[in-house]
């Protein structure tokens, strides 16, 4: 049985590889800024977006994208107001959007199987149109990152010094969180809402164990991410298991492998 | 020796007050820093020194009063290349951050003002020059987290120097630095001030050292207790027992062992 004769696998693999490339690029800044949990929060916001899309009969990819970007701006605003602790802002959005999603789903009973795909990822449902959408948005993410790379790394490393150097730190933080929102929405078909955080965070955390400079850290995170996604999807095909679960378990195995090697 | 106009004020602090919630941390503080000055800011822990520095840099907004930098009110000040800042690092620096010494200094090199002309062609030569200036060029490929505290501070000074500033603000730069590096560090600052004509504003706990090195001492304890020459400051603090126990922390025999 040759998996490449199935176009759905090719679509899934293409989308998976694109997401595997961009997730660590944004993930490294989130991890270093101690923002790891933002990915999970935004994933739950995207679920509310998906529910809206399914209910209204709009392509859920777009409603998820809209909801996540708006949600990310909301989180950042609440966090900046300093009236609410950063992680409390995340908790509010995480549970709030999940509650909204559940209410919308119960209103519209009947898309249960569909929803399951979004919760746990379903590469078989990725269409060629989705691949193009993901590819375009991935280019947008990479272009924005490339343009603001120097500011983002300065703000991540030392926010006060960056501000004194004339960096608009508020704008950079907003850009970063919107990029996180884009990556989260794009990752849904691959690993699903519940495992997005892992896709964005684990390759970066693994690469950080190696203690290399910034570019090498990103490079190693990319290798771990792309390798896990490809092997995970292939394994899911032959072993008939969930692709999202296989990818994340593989990433975790790599993390523990590096962790143990480094500890010795 | 660059020509330095000592009569020109480049920082003016006027009647600045600040409070965290209902607690008044700084009250009615006024002083000037002139071009080429070397001002040591001293005072007990929790006296508001770091808060004052952050207000002078626009990182915190004062409850009342005003700051001007190079004759421009802080809210209108745009020429941030003239300002260097070395934050208090010992406590809040992420030693796991995967960035090389070279890249840290490169962060300071960029022109963050506009969206166009973002890449300065002189970047690389500036990084090399300032790293050599602080004696850290041979460490350029090391990760910042793998260096000693004193070496890290030299790198942060290099980063501040990368914009070719006129004034550098340093917040307790020698915390967690051993005695030898500590003396070398002050030698570096003296060179920057006396030879390169840089104005320095330095928060320090080391009263013995800072009174040897600085031109002026501002003593902060919620209010501006005094702003005077190091000699006058030592006389006054002796007679008033200004710091009580706190001066003894840095008394000479402390350094002997």
Range of lowest pLDDT (A62-76, B88-102, B168-182, B241-255): B241-255
Closest CA to A195 of A253, A245, A138, A235: A245
Kindly state the average pLDDT of the residues B163-183: 84
Domain with A165, as residue range(s), is: 3-263
Determine, for residues A213 and B143 on separate chains, whether the beta-carbon distance falls below 8 Å: yes
Kindly state the average pLDDT of the residues A153-171: 90
The conformation of residue A223, written as its DSSP 8-state character, comes to H
B106 within a domain of the structure (yes/no): yes
Residue of B nearest to A209 (CA): B96
* Whether pLDDT at B117 is above 80: no
Closest CA to A159 of A32, A65, A62: A32
* Cβ proximity of A65 and A84 under 8 Å: no
* Whether pLDDT at A185 is above 80: yes
| Tokens matching residue B70 | 């190079």
Determine, for residues B87 and A151 on separate chains, whether the beta-carbon distance falls below 8 Å: no
Distance from C-alpha of B17 to C-alpha of A259, rounded to nearest angstrom: 50
Structural domains of chain B, count: 1
* Whether pLDDT at A188 is above 50: yes
Angle of helix A112-120 relative to helix A169-191, nearest 10 degrees, comes to: 120
Task: Measure Cα distances from A247 to A227, A239, B163 in Å.
Answer: 9, 13, 45
Residue B20: strand, helix, or coil: strand
Distance from C-alpha of B198 to C-alpha of A204, rounded to nearest angstrom: 41
* pLDDT value of residue B3: 67
Distance from C-alpha of A178 to C-alpha of A183, rounded to nearest angstrom: 9
Structural domains of chain A, count: 1
Mean pLDDT value across chain B: 83
Determine, for residues B98 and A167 on separate chains, whether the beta-carbon distance falls below 8 Å: no
B4 within a domain of the structure (yes/no): no
Residue B216: strand, helix, or coil: strand
* Whether pLDDT at B257 is above 50: no
Whose tokens are 């730069």? That residue is B173
Residues 194-253 of B with CB under 8 A from A: none
* Whether pLDDT at B248 is above 50: no
Distance from C-alpha of B206 to C-alpha of A202, rounded to nearest angstrom: 44
Distance from C-alpha of A178 to C-alpha of B104, rounded to nearest angstrom: 25
B145 within a domain of the structure (yes/no): yes
* A63-119 confidence digits (pLDDT tens): 999 999 999 999 888 888 877 777 888 889 999 999 998 888 888 766 666 777 888
A216 neighbourhood in chain B, CB within 8 Å: 98
* pLDDT value of residue B81: 86
* pLDDT value of residue A217: 96
CATH number at residue B178: 3.40.50.300
Closest CA to B49 of B31, B70, B73: B31
Any idea what the Cα angle at residue A241 is, between residues A239 and A247, rounded to 5°?
105
Determine, for residues A166 and B78 on separate chains, whether the beta-carbon distance falls below 8 Å: yes
Query: Cβ of B152 under 8 Å from any chain A Cβ?
Result: no
Distance from C-alpha of A27 to C-alpha of A30, rounded to nearest angstrom: 5
Determine, for residues A166 and B81 on separate chains, whether the beta-carbon distance falls below 8 Å: yes
> Which residue of A165, A168, A211 is in closest CB contact with B108?
A165
Query: Cβ of B99 under 8 Å from any chain A Cβ?
Result: yes
Residue of A nearest to B74 (CA): A164
Distance from C-alpha of B166 to C-alpha of B10, rounded to nearest angstrom: 9
* B67-112 confidence digits (pLDDT tens): 999 999 998 998 888 999 998 865 466 778 999 999 999 888 866 6
Query: Cβ of B23 under 8 Å from any chain A Cβ?
Result: no
How would you classify the pairing of strands B23-34 and B223-228? unpaired
Domain with B128, as residue range(s), is: 9-256
B173 neighbourhood in chain A, CB within 8 Å: none
* Whether pLDDT at A214 is above 90: yes
Distance from C-alpha of A11 to C-alpha of B150, rounded to nearest angstrom: 53
A165 neighbourhood in chain B, CB within 8 Å: 80-81, 85, 107-108, 110, 112, 163
Determine, for residues A151 and B58 on separate chains, whether the beta-carbon distance falls below 8 Å: no
Residue to mutate among B90, B98, B119, B163, with most A CBs inside 10 A, is: B98
Determine, for residues B83 and A213 on separate chains, whether the beta-carbon distance falls below 8 Å: no
Mean pLDDT value across chain A: 89
ipTM above 0.90, yes or no: no
B78 neighbourhood in chain A, CB within 8 Å: 166
Distance from C-alpha of B2 to C-alpha of B17, rounded to nearest angstrom: 35
Phi, psi dihedrals of residue B65, rounded to the nearest 5°: 95, 180
How many beta-carbon contacts under 8 Å exist across A and B? 79
> Which residue of B58, B83, B98 is in closest CB contact with A213?
B98
* Whether pLDDT at B247 is above 60: no
Determine, for residues B118 and A150 on separate chains, whether the beta-carbon distance falls below 8 Å: yes
B53 within a domain of the structure (yes/no): yes
Give the minimum alpha-carbon distance from B114 to chain A in angstroms, rounded to a whole number: 10
* Cβ proximity of A125 and A189 under 8 Å: yes
CATH number at residue A103: 1.10.3470.10
Question: Greater confidence, B36 or A117?
Answer: B36
Residue of A nearest to B109 (CA): A165
Determine, for residues B99 and A212 on separate chains, whether the beta-carbon distance falls below 8 Å: no
Any idea what the Cα angle at residue A160 is, between residues A158 and A166, rounded to 5°?
105
């Amino acid at each position: 049985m040759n998996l490449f004769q199935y176009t759905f696998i090719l679509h899934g693999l293409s989308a998976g590889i694109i997401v595997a490339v961009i997730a660590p690029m944004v993930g490294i800044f989130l991890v270093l800024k101690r923002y790891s949990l933002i990915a999970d929060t935004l994933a739950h916001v995207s679920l509310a977006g998906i529910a809206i899309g399914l209910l209204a009969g709009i392509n859920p990819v777009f409603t998820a994208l809209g909801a996540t970007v708006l949600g990310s701006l909301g989180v950042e605003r609440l966090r900046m107001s300093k009236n609410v602790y950063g992680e409390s802002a995340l908790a509010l959005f995480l549970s709030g959007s999940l509650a909204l999603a559940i209410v919308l789903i119960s209103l519209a009973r009947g898309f249960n199987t569909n929803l399951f795909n979004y919760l746990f990822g379903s590469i078989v449902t990725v269409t060629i149109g989705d691949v193009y959408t993901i590819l375009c948005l991935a280019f947008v993410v990479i272009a924005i990152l490339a343009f603001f790379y120097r500011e983002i790394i300065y703000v991540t490393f030392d926010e006060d010094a960056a501000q004194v150097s004339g960096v608009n730190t508020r704008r950079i933080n907003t850009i970063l969180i919107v990029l996180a929102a884009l990556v989260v929405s794009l990752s849904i078909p691959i690993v699903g809402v519940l495992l997005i955080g892992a896709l964005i965070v684990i390759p970066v955390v693994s690469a950080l164990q190696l203690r290399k400079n910034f570019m090498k850290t990103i490079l190693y995170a990319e290798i771990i991410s792309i390798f896990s996604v490809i092997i995970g999807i292939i394994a899911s095909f032959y072993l008939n298991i969930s692709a999202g679960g296989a990818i994340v378990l593989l990433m975790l195995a790599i993390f523990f492998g590096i962790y143990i090697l480094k500890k010795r | 020796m660059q020509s330095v106009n000592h009569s020109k004020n480049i920082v003016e602090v006027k009647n600045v007050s600040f409070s965290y919630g209902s607690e008044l941390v700084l009250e009615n503080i006024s002083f000037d820093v002139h071009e080429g000055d070397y001002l040591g800011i001293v005072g007990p822990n929790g006296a508001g020194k770091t808060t004052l520095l952050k207000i002078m840099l626009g990182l915190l907004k004062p409850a009342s009063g005003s700051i001007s930098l190079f004759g421009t009110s802080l809210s209108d000040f745009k020429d941030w290349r003239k300002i260097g800042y070395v934050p208090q690092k010992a406590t809040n620096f992420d030693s796991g951050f995967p960035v090389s010494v070279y890249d840290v200094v490169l962060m300071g090199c960029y022109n963050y003002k506009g969206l166009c002309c973002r890449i300065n062609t002189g970047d690389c030569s500036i990084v090399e020059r300032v790293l050599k200036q602080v004696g850290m060029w041979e460490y350029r490929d090391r990760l910042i987290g793998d260096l000693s505290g004193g070496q890290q501070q030299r790198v942060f000074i290099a980063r501040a120097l990368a914009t070719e500033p006129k004034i550098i603000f340093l917040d307790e730069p020698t915390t967690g630095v051993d005695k030898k590096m500590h003396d070398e560090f002050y030698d570096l600052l003296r060179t920057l001030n006396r030879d390169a004509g840089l104005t320095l504003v330095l928060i320090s706990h080391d009263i013995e050292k800072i009174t040897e090195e600085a031109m002026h001492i501002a003593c902060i304890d919620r209010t501006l207790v005094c702003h005077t020459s190091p000699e006058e400051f030592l006389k006054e603090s002796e007679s008033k027992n200004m710091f009580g126990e706190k001066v003894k922390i840095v008394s000479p025999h402390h350094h002997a062992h």
